Amino acid sequence: MVETGSLEARLARAATEAPGRLGVAVRDDRGWTWTHHAERVTRSASTIKVPIMLAALRQVEDGRLDLRDDVAIAAFEERVGGSGALSLLPSVRSLPLFEALRLMIALSDNDATNAVLDHAGLLESGDVDRLLADVPTRHTRLRRRMMDPAAAAAGGENETCPQDLVDLLVALREGRLLGPEQTMTALTVLRQQQLVAGLPAYLPADVLVGSKTGDLPGLRADLAVVERGDRWVAVAVVADGLADPGQRGTPDRGTAILPVFASLGELVAERLDPLAERP
């Protein structure tokens, strides 16, 4: 059955019928917006890797780093694993910065992320906070390395919300965070995303997507810039409450949200139509 009603009504229907607790924020190049619990703050999972990449690219732009820099990878026995290729590659002891950024985003590699954090000194420098202030965001915080449960338990959790993530993507796409060369570097890396079962899953081949996922027990997140021709739309979704933390052994049903993410991606892509009404 073909769904009817306005785009806003169809988005609301998809969001309210989703499992868990869902937050959504959308904005397009013409200023059209739609939100659903977009200011609800959650753990950021790997979505925090996007501002990490952008802060590192600012250092490249400022001449403090070079994309060809040799970035040291932790000794194999010290790697945190969890996601990405480096937990399977003990022979890899260093990578050019650009390749580390690609692994960090396209495969969500935690060890590559920690290597970038260390190489750029981003946990100590305040560069991520300054970049987020330039967006501006209200709730996004980088407080710890990837896969550091002790820091998280001590209150050092990385946090965000869908509205912050969309505002970050809009600022990037509009060229307000980086110059033209490094803006294109960031968008190129996002477009190399390999984890595409969420927002990009139902999009046709003529739609260009740059995205980043996040995945923790009971939580799934995704953000994307979706483009066709000279039109674009930014979208961010975060769902939690997808597992019962009070019951040991309860399955994580986080993958149940992925078809909802895919449907939301397909719906917001309707804003790419050149005839889509201005707000």
| 214, 157 contact by CB (below 8 A) | no
β-strand pairing of 208-216 with 42-43: unpaired
CA angle at 240 for the pair 236 and 241, rounded to the nearest 5°:
160
For residue 173, the enclosing domain spans 7-272
pLDDT of residue 1: 39
Encoded amino acid at 141, one letter:
R
Higher local confidence (pLDDT), 250 or 141:
141
Q: How many structural domains are present in the chain?
A: 1
Residue 57's Cβ-side half-sphere holds a number of Cα atoms within 13 Å equal to 26
Give CA torsion, residues 119, 107, 39, 165, to 10 deg: 70
Q: What is the DSSP letter of 194?
A: -
pLDDT of residue 102: 98
| 45, 198 contact by CB (below 8 A) | no
pLDDT of residue 2: 47
Q: What is the pTM of this model?
A: 0.95
> Helix, strand, coil shares of the chain as percentages rounded to 5?
40, 20, 40
| 123, 115 contact by CB (below 8 A) | no
Is 2 inside any structural domain? Answer: no
Is 279 inside any structural domain? Answer: no
CA angle at 16 for the pair 10 and 21, rounded to the nearest 5°:
140
Residue found by looking up tokens 């250092």 in the block: 59
Provide, rounded to the nearest whole percent, the portion of the chain with pLDDT above 90: 87
The 10s digit of each residue's pLDDT in 44-80 is 999 999 999 999 999 999 999 999 999 999 999 999 9
How many angstroms separate the first and last alpha carbons of the chain? Answer: 28
Nearest to 137 by CA among 18, 215, 25: 25
pLDDT at 161 over 60: yes
- Strand segments, DSSP code E, in 101-218 are 159-160, 208-216
Q: What CATH number is attached to the domain comprising 188? A: 3.40.710.10
Q: Characterize 114-150 residue by residue with b for buried, 16 or more Cβ atoms within 10 angstroms of its Cβ, and e for exposed.
A: bbbbbbbebbeeebbbebbeebebebbbbbbbbbbee
Is 30 inside any structural domain? Answer: yes
pLDDT at 206 over 80: yes
pLDDT at 3 over 70: no
| 116, 101 contact by CB (below 8 A) | yes
CA 220 vs CA 3, 25, 217: distances in Å: 26, 15, 8
pLDDT at 147 over 90: yes
Higher local confidence (pLDDT), 110 or 149:
110
Position 279 confidence tier, pLDDT thresholds 50, 70, 90? confident
pLDDT of residue 249: 59
pLDDT at 237 over 70: yes
Is 277 inside any structural domain? Answer: no
What is the average pLDDT score of the chain?
A: 94
pLDDT of residue 253: 75
Position 247 confidence tier, pLDDT thresholds 50, 70, 90? low
Length of the chain: 279
Position 274 confidence tier, pLDDT thresholds 50, 70, 90? confident
Per-residue pLDDT, averaged over 117-138, amounts to 97
Is 278 inside any structural domain? Answer: no
pLDDT of residue 261: 98
pLDDT of residue 250: 64
Is 16 inside any structural domain? Answer: yes
Is 194 inside any structural domain? Answer: yes
Is 218 inside any structural domain? Answer: yes
Helix (H, G, I), strand (E, B) or coil at 94: strand
